[in-house]
Amino acid sequence: MSADLSPPVARRSDHSPWNYLLLIPIVLPLLTFLYNSETPRLFGIPFFYWFQMLLAPLAVIASVSAFYLARRTKGARSIDARSNRREG
Amino acid sequence: MHVTELVITIILFVLVAGVGFWAARWRQPPHLHSLDEWSLAGRKFGSWIGWFMLGGDLYTAYTFVAVPALLYGTGAIGFYAVPYTAIEYPLVFLILIRLWSVCRKHGYVTPADYVRGRFGSPTLALAIALTGVVATMPYIALNLIGIQATLQVIGLNGHWPLIVAFVVLAAFTYRSGLRAPALIAFFKDVLVYLLIIVAIAYIPAHVGGWGHVFSVFNAHFASVKPHNAFLLTNSNQLQYATLAFGSAAAIFLYPHAITGVLSTRSRDVVKRSIAWLPVYSIVLGLIAMLGVVALAAGIKPLVSGGKANTNTIIPGLFESVFPHWFAGIAFATIIIGALVPSAVMSIAAANLFTRNIYKEYFRRNASDREQAEVSKITSLVVKAGAVLFILGLQPQFSINLQLIGGVIILQALPSVFIGLYTRWPHRAGLLAGWVAGMGTGVAMLYVTPNTAAGQAHWGGSAFALSHLGINTTQSLYTGFIAVVINLLVTALVTLVAKALRVPDGRDETAAVDYYTDEADMPEPESEAVPA
């Protein structure tokens, strides 16, 4: 089962500069001093609550962007990787 | 007794149970006689199913009732679930694809399987497996609390409806495995989205608008306890941030979350599902807000056995503002909401027993078929155990245990998550770190009182730094402190073990295994079977 069935793939990587987008929704929610305030209100909702309600949509935007942007830049390279594998 | 609500709840429950039984034939499985098929649905789920299933799996019935109840009861600090569920997916986005790859490559079914292969230590794997089982059991029990609170509002106070619901759940999980909760998740999630959109559009306006809702909320917390403000105070901001971050790091260490991830087809499916999962967190935020609304709507928790059950406020809010038929749909949603996570949790806990205890210590040569049989039976035992928890013990006991569960599951982080990136830690270091993290974590929880509830111990997950002789009013999340201690001890003992040349375990994984993708693997049917 653990025997190598496929030849090793040269230099695969999950690295992409777009991954840094993920840091925004991770770090921003931890900075409580930024949003621990009653004003400005939105539709009568204190800032503390409506600001944090926006964190989840922000997480969607950041992670979805990171996924699609990284895939687009990797598109060309992964074709190379596949042909390397066949030769290897 | 609310008859209309009850009838609608029963109809929807029966419908969903039927889906659960039929799921055994969903996507034409070749057979269900292996853990890959029964418990991971052949590792073939695509992005849509993966997204629905993980969403249905991670947002439990307890979440629906307890998160708003916490906000209702404690104010701003109870809102931590919102930043927590925003952080969790970006945090694990890159980690989980590595875990998926190495598990796919080596046929690992549980996180403990991976730890065993990576660090060559069955003992460390046993520690990780036990952590998973102990953390999961009370979590299943808490789902029952969600059902129980709903039944209480409907007016059913006996134990038998709860037992019937769980027997049905146990039966279809036994028959269909992971396919049942995955298929039911579609129904659950559609109902949840529908319910929450209607609730948020309708209820706040019904009780006088958001401005009024928050002025009632504000006035309430200004009057009762000075430290439980409707904003964070100077002494609980750090606690809030560490609680959100610690919980976010913990959630994908839970066996049921990992089971969901491993059932997907490829790295891209994992990434796409995880990237879109915070959509559920938007819904969670709206659900949390209903706790604020409930206070303004004047909802009082139902009292049973002399104790006020704040978990009843959300079902109570639905009952008081919705027409009967829609309240019925809302109650059914909460109950169905409990079925998906309970099924996946019991499967995940059963797999830990089968793979890392039964196969490891009793039946080295257990065949695929035998392992599947053992897991199926164990999943029944796990659910029976959860029911006995709720019926035989105070609900508070399960809540305390789940509190402990959140802290101890984090102690798997060095072995599972950090292990994905580096093989530097020595198996002795990881084991010592685990012992230190578990010990200090449980000790810290034990010495934490809850003065409001009159409990001397297990009073919450905020550890006051004044316990350490530091002159401060600050608290930190207990799990966060425990995992830092765990990491320090792991590093220290690793250095000592390496200096003394203590033999380390064999790593059966290779660097490329962490990038394995769908295309690298032979068809599952023709895959060699591990002996």
Q: Read off the amino acid at residue B148.
A: Q
Of A33, A46, A55, the CB nearest to B82: A55
pLDDT at position B523, please? 64
How many Cα atoms sit within 13 Å of B39 on the Cβ side? 35
Instruction: For residue B512, give both structure tokens.
Output: 């490329």
pLDDT band at B527 (very low <50, low <70, confident <90, very high): very low
The angle, 0 to 180 degrees and rounded to 10, between the axes of the packed helices B122-154 and B395-409 is 140
pLDDT at position B376, please? 95
Residue B303 has pLDDT above 90, yes or no: no
Residues 6+ apart with CB under 8 A from A61: none
pLDDT at position B94, please? 94
How do residues B396-439 score in pLDDT, each as one tens digit? 777 777 778 889 999 999 999 999 999 999 999 999 999 999 99
Q: What is the mean pLDDT of residues B472-476?
A: 86
Instruction: For residue B219, give both structure tokens.
Output: 């006035």
pLDDT at position B225, please? 63
B285 to A8: CB separation less than 8 angstroms, yes or no: no
Which candidate in B58, B72, B80, B91 is best for mutational testing of the A interface (most A CBs within 10 A)? B91
If you ran DSSP here, which 8-state letter would residue A6 be given? S
Which chain B residues are closer than 8 Å to A71 by Cβ? 268
Of A46, A60, A66, the CB nearest to B214: A46
pTM as predicted = 0.91
Residue A78 has pLDDT above 80, yes or no: no
The angle, 0 to 180 degrees and rounded to 10, between the axes of the packed helices B255-262 and B122-154 is 100
C-alpha B476/C-alpha B493 separation (Å) is: 25
Query: Among A11-25, A73-87, B172-186, B218-232, which is the least confidently predicted range?
Result: A73-87
What percent of chain B lies above the pLDDT cut of 70?
Answer: 97
Instruction: For residue B128, give both structure tokens.
Output: 């990780």
Of A8, A44, A60, the CB nearest to B211: A44
pLDDT at position B449, please? 85
A44 to B520: CB separation less than 8 angstroms, yes or no: no
Of A1, A9, A25, the CB nearest to B90: A25
B76 to A48: CB separation less than 8 angstroms, yes or no: yes
pLDDT at position B99, please? 97
For chain A, which residues make up each domain, given as ranges?
17-87
How do residues B187-238 score in pLDDT, each as one tens digit? 999 999 999 999 999 999 889 899 999 999 988 888 876 555 789 988 889 9
Binding-face residues of A in 44-83 toward B, CB within 8 A: 44-46, 48-49, 52-53, 55-60, 62-64, 66-67, 71, 82
Q: Read off the amino acid at residue B525.
A: E
What percent of chain B lies above the pLDDT cut of 90?
Answer: 68
Residue A83 has pLDDT above 80, yes or no: no
Tell me which chain A residue has its CA closest to the CA of residue B107.
A1
Residues 6+ apart with CB under 8 A from B471: none
Mean model confidence pLDDT for chain B: 90
| ipTM, interface predicted TM-score of the complex | 0.89
pLDDT at position B526, please? 43
Task: Decide which of 3.40.50.300, 3.40.50.720, 3.90.78.10, 1.20.1730.10 is the CATH code for B3-26+44-389.
Answer: 1.20.1730.10
Sign of CA dihedral B250, B252, B256, B259: negative
Residues 6+ apart with CB under 8 A from B197: none
Q: What is the mean pLDDT of residues B14-41?
A: 90
Residues 6+ apart with CB under 8 A from B338: B60, B61, B62, B143, B144, B146, B147
pLDDT at position B362, please? 94
Neighbours of A78 (CB within 10 A): 12
Q: What is the mean pLDDT of residues B511-524?
A: 85
pLDDT at position A39, please? 85
φ, ψ (nearest 5 deg) of residue A45: -90, 130
How do residues B113-151 score in pLDDT, each as one tens digit? 999 999 999 999 999 999 999 999 888 888 888 888 888
Query: Among A33-37, B158-162, B168-172, which is the least confidently predicted range?
Result: B158-162
C-alpha B522/C-alpha A57 separation (Å) is: 38
The alpha carbon of residue B39 is apart from the nearest alpha carbon of chain A, in Å, by 19
CB B165 within 8 A of CB B147: yes
Q: Give the containing element (helix H, strand E) for B331.
A: helix B324-353
Which chain B residues are closer than 8 Å to A43 by Cβ? 209-211
CB B342 within 8 A of CB B143: yes
CB B38 within 8 A of CB B375: yes
For chain B, which residues make up each domain, given as ranges?
3-26+44-389
pLDDT at position B21, please? 93
- Write the DSSP string, B417-453: TGGGT---S-HHHHHHHHHHHHHHHHHHHHT--BTTT
How do residues B334-354 score in pLDDT, each as one tens digit? 999 999 999 999 999 999 999
Neighbours of B182 (CB within 10 A): 27
A38 in B contact zone (CB under 8 Å)? yes
The alpha carbon of residue A76 is apart from the nearest alpha carbon of chain B, in Å, by 16
C-beta pairs of A74-81 under 8 Å, 24+ apart in sequence? A74/A16, A81/A9, A81/A10, A81/A11, A81/A12
Of A14, A55, A82, the CB nearest to B94: A14
B90 to A64: CB separation less than 8 angstroms, yes or no: no
Q: Per DSSP, what are the bridge partners of residue B309?
A: B302
pLDDT at position A73, please? 79
pLDDT at position B323, please? 93
The alpha carbon of residue A59 is apart from the nearest alpha carbon of chain B, in Å, by 6
